[in-house]
Amino acid sequence: MSTQTVELDVLGMTCASCANTVERSLKRTAGVDSAHVNIATERATVSFDPQQVNIAGLVAKVRDAGYDAAMEKVLLPIGGMTCAACVRHVERALSRVNGVVDATVNLATERAAVQYLPHVTTVEALRQAVADAGYEVLQDKSADLVEDAPDLETLKMQGARRRMWIAWAFTGPIVVLMLLKMVFGVHWASMRMMELTLTALALPVLLWPGWPTFRSAWNAVRHGSANMDVLIALGTGASWLSGPLSLITPLASYGGVAAMIMAIHLTGRYIEASARGRASQAIRKLLQLGAKQATLLVDGQEYLVPLSQVRVGDLLLVRPGDKIPTDGLLEEGSSTVDESMATGESMPVTKSIGDNLIGGTINQGGLLHLRATRVGADTFLSQVIRMVEEAQGTRVPIQAFADRVTGVFVPAVIAIALLTAVLWLFAGGWLRGVLAAAQSVLPWVNPEASGLTLALAASISVLVVACPCALGLATPTALMVGSGIGAQNGILIRNGAAIQTLNGVQMVVFDKTGTLTVGRPQVTDVVTVEGEEREVLRLAAAAEQGSEHPLGQAVLREAQHRGIEVPAASGFEAIRGQGVLAEVEGATLRVGSRRLLTEAGIDLQPVEEELERLEGLARTTMVVAREGVVLGALAVADPIRPESARAIADLAQLGVQSAMLTGDNHQTAEAIAAQAGIDHVVAGVLPEGKVAEIRHLQEQFGSVAMVGDGINDAPALTQADVGIAIGTGTDIAIESADVTLLSGDLAGVVRAVRLGRATFRKIKQNLFWAFFYNVVMIPLAVFGLMHPALAELAMASSSISVVTNANLLRRSNIASSR
């Protein structure tokens, strides 16, 4: 057995038991000769047979054991790809590099997302592998995009447009001459001279604007693969050669048709590039949101500097109306900030000293002094862009079959074209009968043509009508548009699989605290026996000044919110689990539970009825008494978010059930669920029991999405079919779930489900059309029912329709969740 040895840096191990667990998991893997895990270096050394298991399989075994391997991820812009066959070829080349764990190439974005072991291979090795496959790794132009330089997609579109117009400059006269001959029977000079003229006009089309197609085809063949350009090159080359050959053989001339095929092909490429450019607008729009300059404050002096010169810890000045240059902490001033670019919410957010600010958001009011906390690639906006790019580079599970087809598509089409030629040459009699039957409907068919001519025409049609591009673009373009729309609406999708899962979600499970609810206690009710509400709240807040309990802090916040001046207190005493005592304005105040007051002999009859009502609503009550006399009571609760009930109702309209997961008792949980309209309640769950409950719901209802804060609920988010992390601005843990909602608004959950359904619907439509087109068109070409030029027109239309259909996602009502 020929073995290889690799070292994996294992993450998450804390003791020798962890090391033993990982080692056992690796040793049980088929193909592993030996495995040793060193807890001191946190590294696993594995010898294995690459014929039985690869590095990706070893990493999977580490993950199955509950740990992970340290890897790096890089996005490489790939040049030279033209179709899905190119994608498969580049992926295979990258996957063969020792140390590569996963390689995914996206035709729509023309990027390769590669996960690799940094101590085994390098980015330079990846570049070389791409070059050896006949393609190239381009320079990443992301930085230039911020400076408004033309992006790579725009430059490609301009080049495609130039080649298209050059091609039609020569093809136009060919079309005119052919129409004059076919429609009016008029031809210039002799028939032979006209065919020579058409063939001569076609040659510049192939050798000038069409040369990149031939170069791409040659590169593919030279490196042992075949792409769509190989089909076009074979089709146009054979068409053009028929012109000179028609002078010495009974073969009809298709020399002029060669130019038409190439011109239509280049036109399709231009329209496709334009549509793909529209599909990739999301990244460019996000990049343009960032500021280009910053006002730096040094010893009271202002300096206008490029954003690239700002460092962590710099003090920056932000004037009203300016973009906040980078993420930071507000040290001076207050204002309202438009954070719609980050959260998708249009309402401005009030900011005061100590608040976090997000780079790229807009200062609408006051003069602000900002201390930079994150710059460059570490900023919130950069993380969003990186996440969108990574999502666009992933695959949707439904795409797997299409990937297998595209791997053999072009060789299969070439084989079908050769078989078609053989059939027409040796069994053309009955095939001519098909043409004769179709002649009245399809005027371009000619059953009287020579067998060689019919064989050539049918073979060329097979080559140029086949469309691997439609298969290659079906999923990536829809995913590109969908993830871009999501980012613009405050929804970050981590991978394509989440899109497919969101489409089939049967139930959404919500964590209670901080998700369905606001996340911190608030005073909901003030009950008075004597005096006004403000007076009861004023005295209660005075007594709670020394308390660190969340309920006491809630009372103090409510008084401050109402602008109540809280008097000083003395003799503060906290009685654990009951409440507080304090001297306020010369009188003894008691604020706390029933038990605190009844043990002091205070009669609760004046507020008893209200206490029972409020407790029935799952609110915590505190009675306020002065010198043994009840003044009133306060109710404190973690209220549900204002939008919770509407979001649950919107999910119900989509046919999605809802459930709440909480550690609270059943009475409290049922009361909150009733307010929000939740279908199912799972109460009394300890943090370590959430995973088991999610698993139980999956068994009972099917596909389940879990909505939580993305940190405390991480195990449950992972167990769910799709995890949705909800948070606000820079507080969000972006890496913690499949989907991240940048706004705290639960309406984002509804938008995410709608986005998943709309995007997946487009993916299914595109895949169906791509398969349907090829299944129908290739047989028509085999039977000679497709004119070569019309075949190329149909092929170009197929790719364009797939990309255009994906762009129609922009018209969906994803954002209208209200």
Instruction: Quote the CA–CA distance of 209 and 257 in Å, as a whole number.
Output: 16
What are the tokens at 220? 């593919």
Cα–Cα separations (whole angstroms), residue 39 to 15, 19, 36, 403, 694: 7, 6, 10, 40, 33
* 377: nearest Cα among 308, 323, 330: 308
Q: How many CB atoms lie within 10 A of CB 413?
A: 26
User: Position 31: which residue type?
Assistant: G
Is 664 one of the annotated active-site residues of the chain? no
Length in residues, the chain:
818
- Considering 151, 511, 638, 745, which one is annotated as catalytic? 511
> Torsion angle of alpha carbons 553, 555, 556, 561, nearest 10°?
120
Instruction: Quote the CA–CA distance of 549 and 483 in Å, as a whole number.
Output: 43
The conformation of residue 758, written as its DSSP 8-state character, comes to: H
Q: Residue for token digits 């922009």?
A: 810
CB 263 within 8 A of CB 205: yes
Parallel, antiparallel or unpaired: strands 657-661 and 680-682: parallel
Parallel, antiparallel or unpaired: strands 739-741 and 722-726: parallel
Q: Residue for token digits 């068109």?
A: 777
Instruction: Quote the CA–CA distance of 717 and 715 in Å, as a whole number.
Output: 5
Cα–Cα separations (whole angstroms), residue 258 to 198, 201, 235, 238, 262: 10, 10, 8, 8, 6
DSSP string computed for 678-689: -SEEE-S--GGG
Spatial neighbors of 85 by CB under 8 A, at least 6 apart, are: 220, 225, 226, 227, 228, 406, 407, 409, 410, 468, 472
> Torsion angle of alpha carbons 53, 59, 62, 68, nearest 10°?
180
* 58: nearest Cα among 17, 101, 2: 101
DSSP reduced 3-state for 585: coil
Q: Where are the alpha helices (DSSP H) in 633-730?
A: 644-653, 666-676, 690-701, 714-719
Q: Where are the alpha helices (DSSP H) in 466-602?
A: 468-488, 496-503, 533-544, 550-561, 594-598
Instruction: Quote the CA–CA distance of 169 and 158 in Å, as a whole number.
Output: 17
What are the tokens at 418? 């050769």
Parallel, antiparallel or unpaired: strands 327-332 and 368-374: antiparallel
Parallel, antiparallel or unpaired: strands 301-306 and 293-298: antiparallel
DSSP reduced 3-state for 453: helix
CB 104 within 8 A of CB 113: yes
Handedness of CA 388, 390, 392, 398 (dihedral sign): negative
CB 242 within 8 A of CB 456: yes
Instruction: Quote the CA–CA distance of 377 and 140 in Å, as a whole number.
Output: 14
Q: Which residues are catalytic?
A: 511
